[in-house]
Amino acid sequence: MPTTIDGRKVSKDIKNEIVQKVDALKAEGKRVPHLAIIIVGDDGPSHTYVKGKINACKEVGFEYTLLHFANSLAEAKLIKQIDKLNEDEDIDGFIVQLPLPDHISVEHVNERINPGKDVDGFTNQNFGSITSTHHLLLPATPFGVMELLKRYEIETKGKECVVVGASRLVGAPVSMMMLQDGLATVTVCHEHTKDLAKHTSQADILIVAVGKPNLITKDMVKKGVVIIDVGTSRVEDKTKKSGFRLSGDVDYENVAPLASYITPVPGGVGPMTIASLLVNTLKAYEAREI
Ligand code: NAP
């Protein structure tokens, strides 16, 4: 049977490390890191994610500020709010929770954020810095994936890594990180890839970030593969109080017996995204305090 990569445990370890640093700051009489979160509209899952981020701030002793705006908020007003946070000396980092309403351009928003406070790692500057040795705030979910591989001491150097999904949020940055820091040979697949199984079956390390439950089946992987399943979709489940359960992109039940390591969904990459956000907020704080 494979080793389950326990994102909840790793994220807890990271939070404990941060708590120690926050306690040390307090003992020295210094202020603590301060994260602000902007959320626009009433999308249920987004509010759940934001709640998780606020709870994480509470757990590690960060200050936090939540700014909730109506769905009708004009883009110009949101930009003004971002400018305020960019200039606010008390705020070390902030995020604008996605998705945004259709009338607001995510690109305009991201490019307005001061890269030094961009703790989601979404701005062009932080995205581009993946290929540099001087990166400060790496994109949160890809950073979480790399941290899982590192903490489970999974060798990446020289391995065949196949990334399925090429989005700016996950697939593209994680493939760049696997190339840059992981020193792997990287193949990136997407919707237009002609024969997905031909590529996935070559993978020593398979990272999937698509959002299609059961996309990866047992005939598409080789024995001993390391699988990182980033996909998170809501699937109807009448046995649950909520009426749904979360599913990854991998047919876990049938694929797991072939894997050497695998992340579950939930409990794999998800908790790492929040842990990475905390790590980035601490880094942003430290960069400002020095
Ligand atoms: P996205 O922007 O929709 O991108 C999906 C990517 O998958 C695209 O590159 C798309 O190809 C590719 N794709 C679509 N159908 C495919 C297929 N049949 N075969 C191969 N590739 C295919 O999604 P995202 O933001 O990257 O998120 C991906 C998944 O990760 C979602 O389930 C999301 O909820 C999850 N996620 C989880 C976390 C976490 O913390 N756990 C964080 C972020 C995202 P094209 O480029 O050709 O369109």
* The pLDDT of residue 223: 98
Mean pLDDT of 2-7: 98
Backbone angles phi, psi at 37, to 5 degrees: -125, 125
Higher pLDDT, 19 or 45: 19
Q: Which fold has domain 29-114?
A: Rossmann fold (3.40.50)
* The pLDDT of residue 209: 98
Amino acid making up residue 60: V
Of 128, 81, 125, nearest to 100 (Cα)? 81
- Protein residues whose CB sits closer than 6 Å to any atom of ligand 1: 141, 164-167, 169-171, 189-193, 196, 209-212, 215, 230-233, 269-270, 273
From its phi and psi, is residue 67 left (phi > 0), alpha (psi between -120 and 50) or beta? Answer: beta
Written as one string, the DSSP assignment of 176-204 is HHHHHTS--EEEEE-TT-S-HHHHHTT-S
* The pLDDT of residue 156: 98
pLDDT at 1 over 90: no
Q: Tell me the two tokens of residue 9.
A: 């445990």
- Residue 277, C-beta contacts closer than 8 angstroms, at least 6 positions apart: 35, 53, 56, 95, 119, 120, 140
pLDDT digits (tens, 9 = 90+) for 123-146: 999 999 999 988 889 999 999 999
Confidence of residue 41 (pLDDT cuts 50, 70, 90): very high
CA 249 to centroid of ligand 1, rounded, Å: 9
CA 184 to centroid of ligand 1, rounded, Å: 21
- Residue 79, C-beta contacts closer than 8 angstroms, at least 6 positions apart: 108, 109, 112
**Whether the bond into 173 is cis, omega within 30 of 0:** no
* The pLDDT of residue 133: 84
Residues with a known catalytic role: 53, 97, 120
Q: Which atom of ligand 1 is nearest to the CA of 233?
A: 32
| Assigned CATH class of 140-270 | alpha beta
pLDDT digits (tens, 9 = 90+) for 164-221: 999 999 999 999 999 999 999 999 999 999 999 999 999 999 999 999 999 999 999 9
* The pLDDT of residue 282: 98
pLDDT digits (tens, 9 = 90+) for 66-116: 999 999 999 999 999 999 999 999 999 999 999 999 999 999 999 999 999
CA 238 to centroid of ligand 1, rounded, Å: 26
- Residue 237, C-beta contacts closer than 8 angstroms, at least 6 positions apart: 243, 244, 245
CATH 3.40.50.720 maps onto the chain at 140-270
The whole-model pTM stands at: 0.96
Mean pLDDT of the chain: 97
CA 22 to centroid of ligand 1, rounded, Å: 35
From its phi and psi, is residue 165 left (phi > 0), alpha (psi between -120 and 50) or beta? Answer: left
Q: Which of 138, 230, 251 to mutate for ligand 1's pocket (most ligand atoms within 8 Å of CB)?
A: 230
The C-alpha R_g of the chain, in whole angstroms, comes to 19
Shortest-distance Cα residue to atom 22 of ligand 1: 191
pLDDT at 26 over 80: yes
CATH 3.40.50.10860 maps onto the chain at 29-114
